[in-house]
Amino acid sequence: MRTINIANANKRDAEVCMEVVTKPNNLKKVLDNGAEPIGIKVLKQSQALTFESLIKNYDDPVMLGEAIIDGDPEIDIEIIGKRLNATHKLYLRKNGQIAYRVNMQQVIMDTQGNEKERRELTKAMSNITGESVVNWAGKKFPKNEIIRKLVFSKKYLLRHVNGLTFDFLYAMAKELHDSNSLMLVGSGPKGIGPLVITQGGEPYRGYLEGRIDGNKYVLLLHLSNMEIKTAGG
């Protein structure tokens, strides 16, 4: 189970468990006879049957189109539809050859979908465990306001590992429950830096939510990297 090193409002930190929150799906697909379907992978096309490969054998796309109508050169009945088991992801060059060294780039787009900037993609290190501490920023946001401003794309449940961390997390949850708000949390001493959950992962802004019911608590870490804006805003 993943862990997180989190501090409270008094800058006291502890390492606790963190797990992904998933909503159980009570619906399932069935066949006409009531049996559950089994998903399989089949081969849709091979590199030799792509348009780029086929056009090399013809003078122009029109001739290729006529050949497809007459003889279906884009279909190989010996391999198309073949069931696949273990597969591996490969990157290809423009000529269809395997690329063994790939430099990933980050493409920045504007609001119209046009490319603004292209730069080398750097893999950020995780900053929620070890010597890194997730700190409270000291800024609370009322729940009924923040849900109209941000899109929360991920959610993690924080769990205690012993009696001391139970009291630690319960106190945090109670403070947030009583104020009916979410607390901004993040990296750095002021708690305003982005959170990177996994190595090479995307940076997010973190918001902590707490709920209590008697001597029980729920402490949730919400992650967001997108704001909600009105049309024309």
User: Which residue ranges of the chain lie beneath pLDDT 50?
Assistant: 233
pLDDT at 155 (0 to 100): 93
- On whether the 2-22+124-227 domain is CATH 3.30.70, my answer is no
pLDDT at 231 (0 to 100): 52
- Residue 52, phi then psi, degrees to nearest 5: -60, -35
Identify the helix (H) or strand (E) that includes residue 140: strand 135-142
pLDDT at 100 (0 to 100): 86
pLDDT at 169 (0 to 100): 97
SS3 52: helix
Closest CA relative to residue 185, chosen from 168, 207, 203: 207
Tell me which residue has tokens 């794309």.
153
pLDDT at 135 (0 to 100): 96
pLDDT digits (tens, 9 = 90+) for 177-210: 999 999 999 999 999 999 999 887 889 999 999 9
pLDDT digits (tens, 9 = 90+) for 12-40: 999 999 999 877 778 888 888 989 898 88
Calpha distance 11→191 (Å, rounded): 10
**Sequence letter at residue 57:** N
- Contact assessment for residue 157 and residue 220, using Cβ atoms and an 8 Å cutoff: yes
Domain ranges of the chain: 2-22+124-227, 41-120
pLDDT at 173 (0 to 100): 97
